[in-house]
Amino acid sequence: MLMPLDENFNKREMDPVIVKNSGIPLHVEFINEVRINKSAVEKRCASAINRRTVKKHNQAAWLLKAITCMDLTTLSGDDTEGRVMRLCNKAKNPLRDDLLEKLGVKDLNITVGGVCVYHQFIRTALDNLRGSNIPVVAVSTGFPAGHTPKKTKILEIKESIRSGAQEIDIVISRRHVLSGNWKKLYDEISEYKEASGDACLKTILATGELGTLKNVAKASLVCMMAGANFIKTSTGKETINATLPFTLVMSRAIREYFELTGFEVGYKPAGGISSAKDCLSQMMLIKEELGTKWLHPSLFRLGASSLLSDIERQIEHFATGQYSSFNRHGIA
């Protein structure tokens, strides 16, 4: 057995107490004061990549932590009940038993943070995740484009809640951001928050379609003011998805909102994160900007489908000294 992993991974730690976001009135003046220095953002992100590296035990520990924060996702037009069943089995057992034994963490019951599916597969996911404490996440509100009537979107949220989804990922209307209509965006998210009840509401900004980093920052703040529990970068269907500049801008919006209200809002980068290296860069930036508390599934999720395959390969290399081919690590 390898030496147990360091303090960066401790699945047995008590869940942190989260001050959940209940929203505040819209402060348009505060939103209009937002300024973003694009060159400074890019410089900060570049330095974060160059300055921070983790190796060996520390890297394995960070990657195990990443698994526990992952929303394992299948959102394809050819999804089937069989694929969702296989995804749920992988969610409950993301790593092989022999790897867990070599790492000395078999008793920690490592699972992913959630399973994300379309509405019609909620029941299949619930049936296959029963007893695992892994939440089912449903995408909603006309995902991914969001071009459906508001009444339909609200009904979709309510139906997903009734079907058993514990978390709802909604898409915002990008036109409100691009036109600077913050009141409409605020009202829209407020209605989604009311419809979702006690479920965790994650708002997808589709950052690659918002035009500027300033728009990303403003949209992040408006969504949090309206009561979002998480802000999420992308649907995964856009050309540009979860980049480090988006993560920096959105994490600082979360920090600013926390300093203003005391509410703790989670962050979910999604789309384009397919390698362990990219995943670690995201996590390190979050730790530096928001602190270790935000590297917990209640405040941080990684939206991913193929990422787990590369993480499993990297952990296998650490444990055995050999890389395996990607086709040995199918997800679903």
- Domain locations in the chain as residue ranges: 28-328
- Among the CATH numbers 2.40.50.320, 3.10.20.740, 3.20.20.70, 3.30.230.10, which is that of 28-328? 3.20.20.70
Q: Which residues are catalytic?
A: 169, 232, 268
Separate counts of helices (H) and strands (E) for the chain = 13, 8
Sign of CA dihedral 140, 113, 329, 9: positive
Q: What tens digit of pLDDT does each residue of 267-311 get? A: 999 988 989 999 999 999 999 999 999 999 999 999 988 899 999
Peptide bond into 4 cis (omega under 30): no
Peptide bond into 149 cis (omega under 30): no
Segment (H or E) for 191: helix 182-196
- Which ranges constitute the DSSP H helices of the chain? 28-32, 38-51, 56-68, 81-92, 97-103, 122-129, 150-163, 174-178, 182-196, 213-225, 244-261, 276-290, 307-320
Which token pair is 10? 């401790």
Q: How far is CA 81 from CA 39, 73, 84, in A?
A: 46, 14, 5
Give pLDDT, residue 159.
Answer: 97
Q: How far is CA 233 from CA 54, 197, 272, 325, in A?
A: 25, 23, 11, 30
Which token pair is 128? 């296959």
Does 71 have pLDDT greater than 70?
Answer: yes
As a whole number of angstroms, the distance between CA 268 and CA 266 comes to 7
> How many CB atoms within 10 Å of residue 156?
22
Between 272 and 261, where is the model more confident?
261
Q: Please state the φ and ψ torsions of residue 12, each to the nearest 5 degrees.
A: -85, -5
Return the bridge partners of 289, or none: none
Per the CB < 8 A criterion, the answer to whether 93 and 51 are in contact is: no
Give pLDDT, residue 332.
Answer: 57
Q: What is the largest CA-CA distance in the chain?
A: 58
Average pLDDT over residues 22-31: 96
Return the bridge partners of 4, or none: none
Q: What tens digit of pLDDT does each residue of 94-137 get? A: 999 999 999 999 999 999 999 999 999 999 999 999 999 999 99
Q: What tens digit of pLDDT does each residue of 46-60 get? A: 888 777 678 889 999
> How many CB atoms within 10 Å of residue 205?
25
Beta strands 266-268; 70-73: pairing state: unpaired
